[in-house]
Each structure stands twice: as C-alpha cells, then as structure tokens.
C-alpha cells in the first residue's frame, strides 16, 4: 500500500481497503476516501465510506451533510439508508433513524445489522412486539445454519411452538451455540416463562461474556421478575459496551424507577426523550415516573404532550384521570368519543378510553353515563385475560385446611425472627396507601412500595406448573423445613434491603395481595406485623371495578368476580383470626376517617411504635408514592369518598349477590360454610 494520501491500485481495491480501515482506523479511512473522490468526484461508494468515517470519528453533522443528498439521489440503495440511519441515531435523531432503518430493510430485507439496530430502537420506544419481530429477522438473516434459519423464520411469524421444537433439536447437537440459546430464551420470554429465559441467558453469557445483546435481554428478563438490583448491574455492563444505546438507557431508567431512584431515572428518561421527542409512549413512561416522584404538574404536562402526539392513546388519558386530582374537560370527553368512533383503534386503547370516560362523567356527577363506560371498559378488559374465580376459592380452602392451629403450633419459633417488616394487606382501593403514608410519616418506619418478593417466593414454591396443579403451593408450604423457613425470611429481607433508603428500624410492604400469603409470612417472618386494611364491601369493590390496574388484579374486571374475591378474602382472614388470635391488626377504613387519631394510636401501638404527631399530618410527607392513590394521600383525610359508591348503587346488583352475607355483616364477619369449630 502507498501512503494514506494516495489511492491504492484499482478503484475497487482502493474502496475495499478504505472499507477495511473503517474498522481499525476511521481517520485514515477518511483520508483514503477523500483521495478517491479527488480522482472520481461524487463516487457513491466513496462518498458513503467518507460519511461512515465522519460518523465513526464523531463528526455527525458532516456525515449527515454527505448522506442526506446521497440517499435522495440513490433512493433504492439500502446500504446508504442504513448508514444514514446510523448517523441519525448518533446525532440524536432517533425517530428519523427508525423510519430510515425501516426503509433500508424494506429495500433489502437481508440486512441483519439493520434489523438489529431497528430492534434496539423499538425496544427503547417500548414497542416490544415490533422489537421482537425485528430481532427475529436479525437472527434469520445473520445465520446460515438451515435449522436456525427455519427457527428464526418461525419466530418472525410468531409460530412459537415450531420455533421451540427446532431450537431444542439444534441444541441437542450444538449445546454451546449461543445464538440458538439466546433464541430459545426469546421463546421462553414470549411464553412468560421468565425463569427459563433467565437460566438460558445466564448460560449464554457464561459461554460468551461479551455478547452484549444477550446481556441486555438478561437484564430485561431479570427486571420482569422483579430482580431489579441484579438487572441494574447487567444493564450497566451493557451500557459500558454500547454507551449510546437508547434502548439500554430506557431499560435502566425503568429499573431505577422500580428501585426508587427517581431522580436518576428522570434524568435518564430526559436523555432518551431527546433522541425520540415525538414518541408518545416514551413520554408516558416518563410521566409515570414524574407522578410517582411527586412532580404532579410535570407529569400532567407530559401526559398532555403524549396525547398531542398520539390522540388515540387511551392509556395517556387514563393516566391523567388516574391522578384523581385532575378532572378531564368537556373537550377531553369530546376528543375521546371521537377516538372511540375509529375502526382501527386497538382493544387496549379502547378500554382505557372507556375507563377514562367513566372517570370524566363521574366527576361531572353523570353517574349513569359513568357506570356505562366503566362497564364497557371492564367487559373489554375481562375478555383479554384468563381468570377463574373457582381457582381462587379453591386456593383459599386449601389454605384453611393447611394452616390449622396444630400445624402452626408445631412450627412455633420457625422462620427468621426479624421484626423489621410491616405488611399492609387486603384488597386494592381499601385504604392501604393511606395507612402506609401514616406509618411512613413516623421517624422509625420507612415506606417502600408494593414489594413483589412474597409473591415471588410463593410462585417459586408453586413451581412452573402451578396453574395446572393448584395443590403444589400448599404442598410445598407443608414440606418446608425450619431451616428453609428461616432462609426464605432472610432472603426476603435481603431483597427488600435495596428499597430501604433511610436506615429506619421498620419498613412497610403494602402489596395488598399478600393477604393470600398470610400463612407463608407467618412461617418465614413470624415477628413481622400484619395489618389488614378493610373498607366497606361496596365501596371497596366498586372502587376496584372502576380502576384499571397496570398489571394483575384480574379479579377486578367483573362485579361478580370482585364480589367473590372480596368474600374469599374476608373468609381467609377470618380463618387466621381464629387460628392466630390477635396476630393481625385490622383497620376499618370508615373508622379511620371518622376518628383518625384513635385509630392511628391503636395502629402505632400494634406496630410497637410510640405515638408521633407527624402521623396525623401524613399529607405533609413528600415521599414517592407509586399507587393509584398517590395524589389523594398528599391531602388531609376527607369523608366525601366514604359513601361515594351510593351514586351507582342501582347498578351494583351482581356485586351484592356475590358478596352475600359478607355485605350484610360488615364490619363484622359472618360464619362461613367451611368454618371449623
């Protein structure tokens, strides 16, 4: 080769050499491309190589200056559009980069790197399904193995069973093929088998520690299993390898938010939004974090901006309505009705709009219209989920049969003896956030969030086939040893530790659904406090019915289902009152509203906390709150919500029927058919 200032041999040789230099010395590649262009002015390939060199050396404006006209002149040249997309992304124009990548793969579908880049962008934007398809196309066009090609094609077509069978067959013959392992992990993740996906990706990274895309997948799977602390270490490693990847930064922001690191998460979201300023879903995620951190007006502004960008986005309207302190206007109502008239509206947008209209009409005291929209939204949501109330009732009866006085007495002294946790259990919308805010205003107790760790332990004990064998969980509980109970209690405390920021001696876990695992809590943390937050059955159940929950709470989308669930809950807690007298402290919401100080004093006494006036001024506490009541608990207690359900009582017949004697007896508890003497 001659000096850098002289092109080498023929034009083709010179271009090939310049292309190789891009990988090792982009500055030298720039010099070589410039010399080629002196000899052959405006040569497309040389111009493309010069632009790539400019991008790789950080001169993004110069790269774009070269590439934009080139892409116009050579509109069918896929590689040019791909390089333009890379430059756009590097310059922070993420949305234009996405559109340009889509052009590139349309012109030439067999560009695996373009598909991978597109998948990364779509992941950053939260478009999971589209990202999965782009990733599958990347695999499809980046391998020559016939079996992997067939499996990748099946993945791209969402033919999951076929893809799984092909991948398992391939891995029998090539067990260390990291590409195939990652693909099988993708299959497991799409099926919701996150534990399997975690194990596969862990093996993938053992074999190929520098496989950054697999590490990102690993962090995502860990995050989805609420293993956020470990997920954070892996997404940080991915960012070291690819610092400019907005998808990685977006995931890190979500992980930090789940860990209560809101300020850092907010800053990361700002950075990602600067790359995709017109993406409505990203702005909505940002707004969720702002709301949780107590930055209400900023959250409102972001929700409004999301609606401007995507007027059909029902979740953005619902997020505004769900602030509780915001009233949607007549203009909002008209706009939502227009969107509901569209034929191309997704079911998710449709039911979110119905829930939002229900809240808007309820705020205007138009209760018939409000209930009609709540009913439509719930019916549409119920059709998308699998929930069997009989399974829930059967689980309740298994708990009653297992946790007898004799069973518990035989295990007295088992578990971890720590007194740190204060569990608030019950049904959603029963006042648990209010109780948490009261307790978290005490200098000795720290509020965390609805921690997922008790439920995670229960799922682990249930095993992968729990849905097909409802007895598994209780069999596992019955077979736990004293050492296992202690270890599970210690594990819970270790997992919760990352959420404890203030070093206070007590912390609060207010996941309502933990009531179903009262027996597990007793076995592994026998000294933990358990507070049962209870509200009038009609008030509590209707409040749940009109609330669209971000996840879980599948019982809440039918008046009959929610009534049966409330009845089951009351029956189970009555059982534990009988077999563990005095173990659980019950707070009746209406009594807390009517005589706050007396109830607060009793609550603190049960928790072993001295009375503190700040607990009566809980609304002055500016801590982050993640639940639907986040803005309500920043205000003093008010009576207006106690009997609000009476406005819709004419339509609550199915709920009353499902509640039965539980409604008649409230706040007392009736005798149940399965009670034992």
Tokens found for residue 13: 């040789």
Rounded distance between C-alpha atoms, residue 32 and residue 66, angstroms: 16
For residues 396-404, average pLDDT:
95
Q: How far apart are CA 626 and CA 525, in angstroms?
A: 25
Domain CATH code at residue 433? 3.40.50.300
Backbone angles phi, psi at 588, to 5 degrees: -90, 120
Does 63 fall in a domain? no
Whole-angstrom Cα distance, residue 97 to residue 360? 38
| Residues 627/436, Cβ–Cβ less than 8 Å | no
What are the φ and ψ backbone dihedral angles of 509, each rounded to 5 degrees?
-115, 110
Tell me the chain's radius of gyration from C-alpha atoms: 29
Mean pLDDT value across the chain: 91
| Mean pLDDT score, 592-606 | 95
Burial of 479 (0-12, 13-18, 19+ CB in 10 A): exposed
pLDDT band, very low/low/confident/very high, at 619 (cuts 50, 70, 90):
confident
* pLDDT per residue as tens digits for the range 162-209: 999 999 999 998 899 998 999 999 999 988 889 899 999 999 999 999
* pLDDT tens for each residue of 63-89: 999 999 999 999 999 999 999 999 999
Whether residue 307 lies inside any domain: the answer is no
How many domains does the chain fold into?
A: 1
pLDDT digits (tens, 9 = 90+) for 21-61: 998 999 999 999 999 999 999 999 999 999 999 999 999 99
Task: Establish if 552 belongs to a structural domain.
Answer: yes
451 lies in a domain? Answer: no
- How far apart are the C-alpha atoms of 580 and 582, rounded to whole Å? 6
Q: What is the mean pLDDT of residues 615-640?
A: 61
Residue 3 clears pLDDT 50, i.e. is over it = no
Q: How confident is the model at residue 217 (pLDDT cuts 50, 70, 90)?
A: very high
Evaluate whether residue 266 is within a structural domain.
no
pTM: 0.85
Q: What's residue 640's pLDDT?
A: 62
Mean pLDDT of 250-266: 92
Give the separation between CA 544 and CA 64, rounded to whole angstroms. Answer: 52
Cα dist from 323 to 303, 349, 427, 463, whole Å: 11, 18, 20, 37
Residue (of 231, 172, 171) closest to 184 by Cα position: 171
Residue 634's pLDDT band (cuts 50, 70, 90)? very low
377 close to 400: Cβ distance less than 8 angstroms: no
Higher-confidence residue of 305 and 130: namely 305
List, as one string, the DSSP characters of 322-376: TTSS----HHHHHHHHHHHT-SS--HHHHHHHHHHHHHHHHHTT-HHHHHHHHHH
Task: Give per-residue burial for 437-447: e unless 16+ CB within 10 Å, then b.
Answer: bbbbbbeebbb
- For 287-304, the pLDDT digits (tens) are 999 998 889 999 999 999
What pLDDT score was predicted for residue 206? 95
Specify which residues 533 forms β-bridges with. Answer: 426, 587
Are 565 and 392 contacting, i.e. CB atoms less than 8 angstroms apart? yes
Q: Give the model confidence (pLDDT) of 308-338 as tens digits.
A: 999 999 999 999 999 878 899 999 999 999 9
Residue 617, token pair as written in the block? 């001024």
Cα angle at 505 between 633 and 601, to 5 degrees?
Answer: 50
At which residue do the structure tokens 């209870």 appear? 534
Residue 656, domain member (yes or no): yes
Residues comprising the chain, all counted: 677
Contacts of 65 (CB under 8 A, 6+ apart): none
Q: Does residue 508 register a pLDDT over 50?
A: yes
Residue 509 DSSP class? E
pLDDT of residue 476: 94
Bridge partner residues of 585 (DSSP) = 531
- The answer to whether position 581 is within a domain reads yes
Task: Report which of 197, 209, 206 is spatially closest to residue 167, judged by C-alpha positions.
Answer: 197
Q: What is the pLDDT of residue 12?
A: 87
In this structure, is residue 529 part of a structural domain? Answer: yes
Per residue in 552-580, is it b (16+ CB within 10 Å) or e — as a string?
ebbbbbbbebbbbbbbbbbbbbbbbeebb
Give per-residue pLDDT as tens, 643-673. Answer: 889 999 999 999 999 999 999 999 999 988 6
- Provide the residue range defining the domain that includes 572: 389-446+498-508+517-665
The helices-and-strands tally (H runs, E runs) of the chain is: 35, 5
């Amino acid at each position: 080769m001659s000096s850098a200032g002289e092109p080498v041999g023929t034009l083709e040789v010179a271009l090939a050499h310049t292309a190789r230099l891009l990988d090792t010395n982009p500055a030298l590649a720039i010099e070589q491309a410039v010399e080629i262009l002196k000899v052959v002015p405006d040569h497309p390939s040389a111009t493309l190589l010069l632009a790539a060199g400019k991008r790789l050396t950080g001169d993004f404006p110069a790269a774009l200056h070269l590439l934009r006209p080139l892409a116009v002149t050579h509109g069918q040249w896929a590689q040019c559009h791909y390089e333009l997309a890379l430059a756009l992304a590097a310059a922070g124009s993420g949305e234009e980069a996405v559109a340009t990548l889509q052009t590139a793969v349309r012109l030439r579908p067999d560009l695996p790197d373009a598909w991978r880049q597109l998948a990364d962008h779509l992941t950053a934007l939260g478009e999971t399904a589209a990202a999965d398809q782009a990733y599958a196309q990347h695999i499809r066009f980046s391998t020559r193995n016939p079996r992997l090609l067939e499996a990748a094609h099946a993945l791209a077509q969402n033919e999951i069973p076929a893809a799984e069978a092909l991948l398992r067959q391939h891995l029998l013959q090539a067990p260390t093929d990291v590409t195939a392992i990652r693909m099988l992990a993708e299959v497991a993740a799409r099926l919701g088998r996150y534990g399997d996906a975690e194990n596969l990706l862990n093996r993938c990274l053992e074999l190929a520690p520098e496989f950054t895309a697999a590490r990102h997948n690993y962090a995502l799977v860990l995050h989805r299993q609420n293993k956020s602390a470990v997920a954070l270490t892996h997404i940080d490693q991915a960012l070291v390898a690819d610092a400019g990847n907005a998808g990685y930064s977006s995931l890190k922001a979500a992980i930090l938010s789940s860990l209560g690191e809101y300020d850092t998460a907010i800053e990361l979201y700002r950075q990602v939004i600067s790359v995709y300023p017109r993406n409505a879903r990203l702005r909505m995620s940002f707004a969720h974090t702002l709301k949780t951190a107590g930055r209400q007006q900023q959250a409102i502004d972001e929700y409004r901006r999301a609606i401007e960008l995507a007027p059909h986005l029902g979740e953005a309207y619902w997020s505004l309505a769900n602030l509780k302190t915001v009233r949607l206007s007549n203009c909002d109502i008209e706009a939502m009705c227009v969107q509901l008239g569209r034929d191309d509206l997704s079911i998710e947008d449709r039911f979110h709009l119905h829930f939002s209209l229900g809240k808007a009409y309820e705020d205007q005291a138009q209760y018939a219209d409000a209930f009609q929209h709540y009913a439509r939204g719930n019916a549409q949501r119920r059709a998308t989920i699998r929930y069997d109330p009989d399974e829930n009732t059967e689980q309740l009866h298994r708990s009653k049969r297992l946790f007898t006085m004799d069973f518990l007495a035989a295990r007295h002294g088992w578990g971890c003896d720590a007194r740190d946790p204060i569990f608030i259990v019950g049904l959603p919308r029963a006042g648990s956030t209010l109780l948490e805010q009261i307790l978290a205003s005490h200098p000795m107790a720290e509020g965390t969030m609805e921690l997922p760790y008790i439920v995670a332990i229960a799922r682990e004990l249930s095993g992968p086939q729990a849905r097909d064998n409802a007895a598994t969980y209780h069999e596992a509980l019955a077979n736990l040893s004293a050492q296992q109970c202690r270890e599970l209690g210690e594990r819970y405390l270790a997992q919760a530790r990352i959420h404890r920021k203030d070093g206070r001696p007590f912390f609060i876990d207010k996941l309502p659904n933990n009531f179903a695992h009262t027996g597990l809590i007793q076995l592994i943390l026998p000294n933990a406090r358990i507070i049962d937050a209870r509200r009038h059955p009609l008030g509590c159940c209707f409040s749940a019915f009109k609330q669209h929950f971000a996840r879980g709470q599948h019982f809440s989308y039918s008046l009959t289902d929610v009534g049966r669930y409330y009845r089951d809950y009351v029956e189970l807690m009555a059982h534990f009152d009988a077999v563990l007298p005095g173990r659980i402290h019950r707070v009746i919401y209406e009594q807390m509203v009517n005589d706050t100080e007396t109830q607060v004093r009793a609550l603190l006494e049960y928790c072993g906390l001295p009375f503190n006036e700040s607990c009566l001024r809980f609304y002055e506490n500016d801590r982050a709150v993640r639940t639907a009541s986040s803005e309500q608990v920043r205000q003093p207690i008010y009576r207006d919500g106690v009997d609000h359900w009476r406005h819709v009582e004419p339509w609550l017949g199915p709920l009353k029927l499902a509640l039965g004697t539980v409604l008649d007896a409230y706040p007392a508890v009736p005798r149940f058919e399965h009670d034992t003497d």
